[in-house]
Structure 1
Amino acid sequence: MLPPRTRFAGQALPAAVARALGRADRDRGDGGLGAAFDVLPRGWPMAAVMRQAERGDAAGAQWVRADPAYVRPDINGARLLAIGESLGLDDASAETLLRTLRPVFGDFGMPIEATAPSRWYLRVDAGAPLPSFAHPDEALGADLFEHLPPGDAGRRWRALLSEAQILLHQHPLNADRATRGLAPVNSVWFWGGGRLPDHVTTRFTRIASDDEAVRALAMLANAGREGLPAQWPGDVHGDAAFDLRRMRGLDALCRQWLEPAIDAVRHGRLATLELVLDDGIRYRIRRSQALRFWRRPLRAPVADDAE
C-alpha cells in the first residue's frame, strides 16, 4: 500500500524499479484501506473500529473521534496545524482539558472520554444522524472552515466545536504550554463517525502498519497485525500487506522496499508483488514479465498510468 503518485511528482525511478513497473500488469481499483479490507456496511467508521480494538465496547452506539487539536488563525480564517499525538499531551494534561469539556459535551448528549492522551471519543446515540467528517489527513494544514461538517446535519457539530474552542482557548493549561514553547490545545477535531461494522474481512493473513486504524481493522478481520519494519523483511510467507502510505521520499521507498521486493520476485522467492497506490493505480509484478523486453521502463511514478 503506497502513497498517491502525486507525492513523488518530479522524481525519477531507479532503473530496476522503472523496468519492473514498465513490464508489470496495470489496472485501477480501490486504493488506501479499500485495497486491504472489505467492510460491511460500506464506509470507514474508524472511531468505532478503534474503540472496539481498544476497549471492546463499541457495539450498541455510534462513535466519533474528537481528538485534541491546534488551530492557528490566519488572514483568511484558520488552519488546522496539529491533531492528536503531535501535541504531546500526557495523561494528566488530557484529563485536565477533558474535565473542562465534559459538561458541554454532556449537554449535547455525547459523553467524551479518552482511551489515551491523544485519543478522545464521543459516544453518540445509535439512531442519531451523523454528518460526514473530514479525516485528519485531509484537514491538516488546510483551511479549517473548508472541512467542517457540512449542511443541516453538521450544524450542531459546528456549534459544538465552537463552544469547545471557546473553553479551550482560555484554559490555563495553554498558558503553561506557551511558556514551554508548546502549541496550545485550542480545539478538537471530529472524524471517523459511525457504528461498528457488521463484518470486516481481508485476504491477507498478515498486515504490517504503523497506523492504529489499520491495525484495528486487522484485529476485527482476524488477521495478524504488527508494526511496520524499517525495510523489506526478506522472506515473506502467505499473503502479507505492508502499509507504506506514510513514506515521503521516493529514494528511501525504492531502496528500502521496492528494489529488494522486486529482487525477491526476480529470484523466485516471491510469486507476486502487488503495488497499490493510494489513488487506486495498481501494478502486479511477476517473474515471467521479464520476457516483456519490448515494454519501455516507467519514467516516473506519475507517468504512463493505466487509464
Structure 2
Amino acid sequence: MAKATLLLPARSRFAAGNLPAQVATALGRAERSLGTAGEAAQLRRHFNVQPADWSAAALTRQTDAGDAAEGFWLRADPASIVPDMQGARLMASAETLRLEQDDVDALLPALQPLFAGFGYQLDAPTPARWYLRLPVDTPLPQFAEPEAVLGDDLFSHLPDGDNGRQWRGLLTEAQVVLHQHPWNEQRVAAGKRAVNSLWFWGPGRLPESVSTVHAQVRSRDALLQGLATLAGVRIGGEQTVDALVDLRQLRSLEQLTRDAITPLLEAIRRGELAELQLDFEDGTGYRIRRGQRWQIWKKPQGTLVDD
C-alpha cells in the first residue's frame, strides 16, 4: 500500500482552534518527532542532495527552462519596495507580484545592458522568476532569501563585505532604472505594485545528485519540482504510489483538517493507505498508522499546538 506525506507550513500559521475528534485522536496516538525548523531543513528531510549546499536558482532554472546544467545561476527576482521612516521595506517579490509577460517585455530590456557590462546575462523564462547567468568563477557574497526579508528593513539584509559592495551598487542602479521607467507609472495607475527593485539570492550550480524515498511529488513549487526532476520521480497526477504532497500554501485550520487530513485518515481506516506523515515547517512531525487505533490509552490532542 502507498504512503502519503504532507509538507505543511509551520503550525503557527494556522489560527488557534480545537481539532475535530477524528484528527485529535489520530494525532494523540501518532508517533511524534521534532526536527530542525525552516524551509531548507524541511526539504532536506525528504531529499538527499549532493553537494549538500544546493542552489535554489539552479534548481528553479531547471524547472523553468531546462537549461541549468553547466551554468552558474543567481535569482534576480523582480521586487517592490516601499520607503518608510527607517529606510525601505521589501513588500513583494517574484510570484507575489503576479507579473505577466507584458511586464517582462517592458522592463527586462531596460535592465539587461546594466548587467551585460559585467558579463552577466539577465533573462526571465517565466514572468515571476528572473535569472542572472554568471561566469563560474564569479566571487559572491552571502545573499538573504526573500522570505527572510519580506516586510523587514531592506538595508539590514543587503550583502556586505568586498564582494557585497558590487552587488549593492548593482541593486541601486537597477532601482534607478526601474524607478524612472514609465511602465511602472502604468502599473501604479492600474492599482498594481511598482516593480522598483530586484532581489538577488540562491546562487550556484545544479547539484551532482538528488535522491528521495518518495516515488511521486505533487507540488506547484518550482524548487520542489526541480528537486523531484533531478531525483527522477513523477511530478503531479493522481496518487498511486508513495507521494510527497506540498500543502505549504494552506493557512486555514479547517482546510487542513477537513480537506487534507480527514480523507487520508479514512483511507487508512479502509486499508487503502498504509501510513500518513505530517511534516510541519517548524520541525514537528507526526507518523500515523492503522495499528495505532488500538492505543486507546493515549489522550487525544485537542489543538494543533499541544505539546
Give yes or no for TM over 0.5: yes
Aligned position for 1:98: 108
The 5 A counterparts of 1:1-307 are: 1-8=7-14, 10-29=16-35, 31-226=41-236, 236-304=239-307
User: Which amino acid is 1:119 matched to?
Assistant: R
Unpaired runs of at least 5, structure 2: 1-6
Write the distance in 1 (CA, Å) between the matches of 2:140 and 2:303: 41
Write the distance in 1 (CA, Å) between the matches of 2:140 and 2:206: 14
After superposition, the C-alpha distances for 1:14-41 in whole angstroms (9 at most, x for unaligned) are 2211111111111123553223211111
Say if 1:49 and 1:287 are closer, same or farther in 2 by CA, change over 3 A: same
Say if 1:150 and 1:8 are closer, same or farther in 2 by CA, change over 3 A: farther
* Matched position secondary structure for 1:271: strand
Write the distance in 2 (CA, Å) between the matches of 1:281 and 1:93: 40
User: Which amino acid is 1:169 matched to?
Assistant: H
User: Which amino acid is 1:222 matched to?
Assistant: G
Higher relative contact order (CA 8 A, sep 6+): 2
Write the distance in 1 (CA, Å) between the matches of 2:58 and 2:26: 40
Write the distance in 2 (CA, Å) between the matches of 1:130 and 1:262: 48
Q: Which moved more, 1:190-199 or 1:136-145?
A: 136-145
**Which consecutive segments of 4 or more residues in structure 1 shift more than 6 A?**
none
User: Which amino acid is 2:34 matched to?
Assistant: R
After superposition, the C-alpha distances for 1:167-226 in whole angstroms (9 at most, x for unaligned) are 111111111222222211100111221111101111111110121221121111111112
Write the distance in 2 (CA, Å) between the matches of 1:9 and 1:255: 15
Write the distance in 2 (CA, Å) between the matches of 1:265 and 1:43: 37
Q: CA RMSD in A?
A: 1.8
After superposition, the C-alpha distances for 1:269-302 in whole angstroms (9 at most, x for unaligned) are 1111111111221110011111111111123222
User: Which amino acid is 1:259 matched to?
Assistant: T
Write the distance in 2 (CA, Å) between the matches of 1:38 and 1:100: 40
Is the CA contact 1:48–1:63 (under 8 Å) kept in the aligned structure 2?
A: yes
Q: Which moved more, 1:212-221 or 1:246-255?
A: 212-221
User: Which amino acid is 2:75 matched to?
Assistant: R
Q: How far does residue 69 in structure 1 lie from its aligned partner after superposition?
A: 0.9
* Matched position secondary structure for 2:249: coil
Q: What is the TM-score normalised by the length of structure 1?
A: 0.90
Write the distance in 2 (CA, Å) between the matches of 1:88 and 1:261: 33
Q: What is the TM-score normalised by the length of structure 2?
A: 0.90
Is the CA contact 2:64–2:222 (under 8 Å) kept in the aligned structure 1?
A: no
Write the distance in 1 (CA, Å) between the matches of 2:242 and 2:46: 11
Q: Identity of counterpart residues, as a percentage?
A: 48
Is the CA contact 1:53–1:220 (under 8 Å) kept in the aligned structure 2?
A: no
Q: How far does residue 48 in structure 1 lie from its aligned partner after superposition?
A: 0.7
Q: How far does residue 9 in structure 1 lie from its aligned partner after superposition?
A: 5.3
Write the distance in 1 (CA, Å) between the matches of 2:277 and 2:162: 42
